[in-house]
Structure 1
């Protein structure tokens, strides 16, 4: 009965190997073109651009239970190197002393305004509330535990002023938490995966998502698409798709760096990556209608790539299950997986992974002077993060399908690393 499968296990194993292998070289080629064409001479953090004008901007920071970080984040924004700006901090129903800290700071800093929401209504609602009271046409939104580079606004605004079709500019997040193996490994991940993919996707014309921790927006573009969706688990993915499907452009600015805190425990990393994966599934389900419109075709490759990555997760899980089953049960030859130990394909894939990470660290070293010293730690990336990525992918789909439709996405305090 299994003869119709052909050699199913070989086909499965081939996809598990060839998909990341092919995508890795696609990302490297696209990122290298972006770096050579746009970034190599243009994005120098020590030499911010001179703008033709300096319109007022609003630096927005949504906060929920950020008592440990809110003061540092807001003070960082208040010292920003830009001629005309305001800071709007939104206390979204915090149960700690976040509101009191923000009110005390507002009394001392005339540029700071504080908006209090009585209940936890989620990041999307907090951002929308800030946008409604903002006194500018441009917003730069950062998380309540982030440290934005003082020249980030200049870099982001250069894109808005150079093209009226730019609706958003995503910054370049850099990892602050490096006290554990997970933390150090994420330093390489954010360059070799997140930064590299954004460069490659910009080369192709569309990005999967802005970085929610640091992104700039044009008010007219947000108004055009109805601002952030309150029922989406990852408001950054959703707003990226909404803007691009409405034919607004999204740019990546690597010099607009933002130093962020990330999970340094497996439990915290799992929760974060599962939320990211569920947010991607939500976007795929919500915007499936775009296949009916030829005018939306530039988003099709982004859609297809996410689907293929989910298929890879299920293919990897199936391969592992078949291998385990073969240890205890007689298996048809077409379904038998003799080993999970990497042969020459594993060595080739590992070498490709190290090449990708080495290339990305070289591209990003001008933004993080200590970056290359973390190259040793990235060899652990496939073991930890591919496994977590596979498990979150296969978990995200059923959890998203079972989630109550239209349920509000509220704050859940994340793992902020080892203090």
Structure 2
């Protein structure tokens, strides 16, 4: 075979085409196995199994400028169907009415304690301060705009007392705001993509990250790895890697439901996803080399998956750039991209994508009986969110390389309104 005669674009197209298909079947296989083994005959989310004992639990709520949501969040936490817990709200130098609202809530919620920090020092530091104030070895961390299901604490703490090497548990975030196209597409993303990936990763070995909006930790595990890093843009990805590299187990609990708000503007969505992408690159640069050690081999799959996704983003960008340049300049045949319009391979990719969505939505019906009504909106996910993911990954890599390491402080995110 004359390798010089093979068009480079053919190799790029093959990778761009086969990578998402292979990963889709990888996630579907792992997700279905997880469902059949752990979920199909499990109790419903509102009927958790009895626990041998119910240890005291500390619920940490770091917040910054959350006057619109903090009352509903604390109210939902106070309604937890768990016998013995405290709520610690850490006000990280808010400039709005968050401080006044928290102080007023103490009178109505006897389990609530409030810690006020003088200035904005970031979520990681707020969580560390909350841990110092906590009285329990079992910590449940909830974002200050989230609505926790009444049984969520019981579901997560059950894992922590189940095994001494369980260092963290991640819950199941669900989208609250569903009035716009972006909001409805994210319903499918969190169930058909994020939920399925977490099930598959749990089946095959290690999780890429916990969901920072709803998670639980064993304090001794956090102490073992030095707690959260205030130098990382996404403290949840970093703590997930460090815990697992140190030999701690992270579990996924889909019954621990948490209702969250997500951006409903393109600008807000871009800022959020760029931060997530920068967090992934930071973890790769900080821990990628140490993960290659043999005793950390169970992390190799997570590392390979992330590196392939980053390579896919740059390959897709190259294809798009070559197609645009080829519209104005005659390129050598090996670099010519005739069209970006989908042909037979596009039809196959769309079919596999819908198969993945359908598989995941059927699994997720345990938690939302009317979830399949959003299947139509999921159809638009590949066009919008694959491109968004590609561009944020491409921008995040050089941006992270050039970023000066400094404390990552809070920035008030763009959120939509609850439905």
Give TM-score scaled by structure 1 length. Answer: 0.98
SS at the partner of 1:366? Answer: coil
Matched, 1:184 2:184: yes
1:120 deviates by 0.5
Are 1:415 and 2:414 matched, yes or no? Answer: yes
Provide closer, same or farther for how the CA distance between residues 256 and 339 of structure 1 changes in structure 2, counting only shifts above 3 A.
Answer: same
1:311-344 deviations in Å (ceiling 9; x for gaps): 1000000000111111111111110010111111
The match for 2:63 is 63
CA distance in 2, matches of 1:254, 1:280: 23
Q: Is the 8 A contact 1:149 1:257 kept in 2?
A: yes
Does residue 1:321 correspond to 2:317, yes or no? no
For residues 93 and 191 of structure 1, the distance between their equivalents in structure 2, rounded to whole angstroms, comes to: 34
What residue in structure 2 maps to residue 26 of structure 1?
A: 26
Secondary structure at 1:141 match in 2? strand
Residue 415 (structure 1) shift:
1.0
Corresponding residue for 1:344? 344
CA distance in 1, matches of 2:77, 2:169: 18
**How far does the alpha carbon of each residue in 1:215-253 deviate from its partner, in whole angstroms, 9 at most, with x for none?**
010111011111100011111101100100000000000
1:61, 1:144 within 8 Å by CA — same for their partners in 2? yes
Cα deviation, residue 162, structure 1: 1.3
Counterpart Cα distance in 2 of 1:157 and 1:49: 12
State the 1:198 CA deviation. Answer: 0.1
Q: Which residue of 2 aligns with 1:211?
A: 211
Alignment partners' CA distance in 1, 2:36 and 2:173: 21
- Equivalent positions of 1:284-303 (< 5 A) are 284-303=284-303
1:73 aligns to 2:97 (yes or no):
no
Cα shift at 1:288? 2.0
Note the C-alpha offset of 1:110: 2.1
SS at match of 2:379: helix
After TM superposition, the structure 1 = structure 2 runs for residues 38-187 of structure 1, keeping only pairs within 5 Å, are: 38-187=38-187
Q: Offset of 1:166 from its aligned partner?
A: 0.4
The answer as to 2:234 corresponding to 1:234 is yes
Shift of 1:39: 1.1
- Note the C-alpha offset of 1:42: 1.4
- Distance in 1 (alpha carbons) for counterparts of 2:43 and 2:126: 31
CA distance in 2, matches of 1:262, 1:65: 16
Q: CA deviation at 1:290?
A: 1.8
Secondary structure at 1:273's aligned position in 2? helix
CA distance in 2, matches of 1:292, 1:176: 39
Distance 1:318 1:195 in 2: 30
Q: TM-score, normalised by structure 2?
A: 0.98
Distance 1:154 1:16, change over 3 A: same
Alignment of 1:9-24 (within 5 A): 9-24=9-24
**1:180 & 1:285 partners in 2: Cα distance?**
36
CA–CA distance in structure 2, aligned partners of residues 55 and 17 of structure 1: 50
Query: 1:369 Cα shift?
Result: 2.6
Q: Which residue of 2 aligns with 1:199?
A: 199
Deviations along 1:278-310, one digit per CA (max 9) or x if unpaired, are 000000000023245210111011011111101
- Give the distance between the partners of 2:392 and 2:43, measured in 1 at CA: 34
Q: What is the CA-CA distance between 1:109 and the residue it aligns to?
A: 2.3
- CA root-mean-square deviation: 1.1
Structure 1 389/361 Cα, relative in aligned 2: closer, same or farther at 3 Å? same
The range that moved more, 59-68 or 158-167, is 158-167
User: Contact 1:232 / 1:409 at 8 angstroms: preserved in 2?
Assistant: yes
1:267 has 2:286 as partner: no
CA–CA distance in structure 2, aligned partners of residues 179 and 377 of structure 1: 12
Deviation at 1:366, TM superposition (A): 1.5
- Structure 2: state its 5+ residue gaps: none
CA contact (8 A) 1:56 1:84 kept: yes
Alignment of 1:382-397 (within 5 A): 382-397=382-397
Alignment deviations for residues 361-395 of structure 1 (CA, whole Å, 9 cap, x no partner): 11111112331110110010011001100000100
- Cα offset, 1:4, TM superposition: 4.4
Q: For residue 408 of structure 2, give the secondary structure of its aligned residue in structure 1.
A: coil
1:247 aligns with: 247
Q: Which runs of 4+ in 1 moved over 6 A?
A: none
**Residue 362 in structure 1 maps to residue 375 in structure 2:** no
Instruction: Confirm or deny: 8 A CA contact 1:49 1:154 kept in the other structure.
Output: no
Tell me how far 1:152 sits from its aligned partner: 0.6
Give the match's secondary structure for 1:369.
Answer: coil
State the distance in 1 between where 2:251 and 2:344 align: 39
